[in-house]
Amino acid sequence: MKLILAIINHDDSQKVIRGMTQNGFSVTKLATTGGFLMSGNTTIIAGVDEARVDEAIGIIRDMSHSRTQLVPVMTGMEIGGMFSTMPTEVMVGGATIFVVDVDRFEKV
């Protein structure tokens, strides 16, 4: 048994959850916030038989895509003590996936 922890952009989360459940995986959804952009993420937790780990990762990979997004970035202090913002393009989306061994699993 393996535990999959997948951190997914909020915009992709419903597609991933639907794909996982339609293929027989039980998932738990947690609302999380990213530390860099402070944007909404979803962390999906799934207990998976070792033989189906690659299948689960494939679903996550197929349903979550990286894309660029413009975000405002603060620049240095301007005249009069005001900060200005300049939009900067950053990569968002995709998934960060951790697969962890499970020593014991019980469903009560």
**Which pTM does this prediction carry?**
0.75
- The whole domain housing 64 covers 2-101
DSSP line for 25-56: ---EEEEEE-SSS--EEEEEEEEE-GGGHHHH
Question: Which CATH number do you get for residue 22?
Answer: 3.30.70.120
Does residue 27 form part of some domain? yes
Does residue 17 form part of some domain? yes
- The pLDDT profile of the chain, 108 residues, written as one tens digit per residue, is 999 999 998 888 999 999 999 999 999 999 887 665 556 789 999 999 999 999 999 999 999 987 676 666 665 555 555 565 677 776 666 889 999 999 998 888
Cα separation, 4 vs 100, in Å, equals 6
Does residue 108 form part of some domain? no
Number of domains in the chain: 1
Does residue 36 form part of some domain? yes
Does residue 88 form part of some domain? yes
Is residue 104 classed as helix, strand or coil in its secondary structure? coil
